[in-house]
């Protein structure tokens, strides 16, 4: 076996040795290039919460590009967890894809373009401690939140 030296990319994840972190900004740019959305206008949110998904029920002729986009975005959620809800929400429509679903995935891509340098960064200087924090509002609204850290890295 040969030592290849310092790794720079592994499975679409860019490894930066100067800051000892990992990011997927190069992978996100590759997704945008494949979808021809590099020059599109960025959005501030992945999609609107009250989006009507049944506004245009015309089925897509070629759903395979949608499958690829959603799969690529699903992998991007490893370091860009802010799109997890949006990507998982639209993954449930894989059986009957419409034009409006594709437009909303394009909105998610426009959001990714605006946040391409933002994400989770994992460092190698860690302990092996696993810590979890949660928030639950018992006073009225059933809102919950949680964070799980492995050492100093936020993993979920």
The pLDDT of residue 22: 62
This model's pTM is above 0.85: no
- pLDDT of residue 118 exceeding 60, the answer is yes
Measuring CA to CA, which residue among 99, 76, 104, 103 is closest to residue 89? 104
Residue where the block lists tokens 């946040």: 115
**DSSP H helical ranges for 43-135:** 64-76, 84-91, 99-114
Beta-ladder partners of 133: 147
Question: Residue 86: how many CB atoms within 10 A of its CB?
Answer: 21
pLDDT in tens, 43-88: 888 876 655 555 557 777 777 888 888 888 888 887 787 888 888 8
**pLDDT, mean of residues 100-123:** 82
Residue 110 — pLDDT band, cuts 50, 70, 90? very high
What does the alpha-carbon distance between residue 65 and residue 133 come to, in Å, rounded to a whole number? 38
């Amino acid at each position: 076996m040969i030592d290849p030296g310092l790794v720079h990319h592994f499975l679409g994840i860019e490894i930066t040795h100067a800051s000892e972190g990992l990011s997927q900004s190069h992978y996100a740019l590759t997704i945008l290039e494949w979808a021809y959305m590099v020059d599109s206008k960025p959005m501030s949110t992945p999609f609107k919460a009250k989006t009507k998904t049944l506004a245009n029920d015309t089925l897509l002729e070629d759903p395979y590009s949608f499958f690829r986009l959603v799969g690529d975005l699903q992998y991007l959620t490893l370091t860009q967890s802010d799109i997890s809800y949006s990507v998982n929400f639209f993954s449930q429509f894989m059986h009957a894809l419409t034009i409006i679903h594709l437009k909303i995935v394009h909105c998610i891509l426009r959001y990714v373009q605006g946040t391409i340098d933002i994400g989770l960064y994992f460092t190698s200087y860690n302990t092996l401690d696993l810590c979890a924090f949660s928030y639950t509002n018992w006073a009225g609204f059933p809102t919950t939140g949680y964070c799980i850290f492995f050492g100093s890295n936020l993993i979920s």
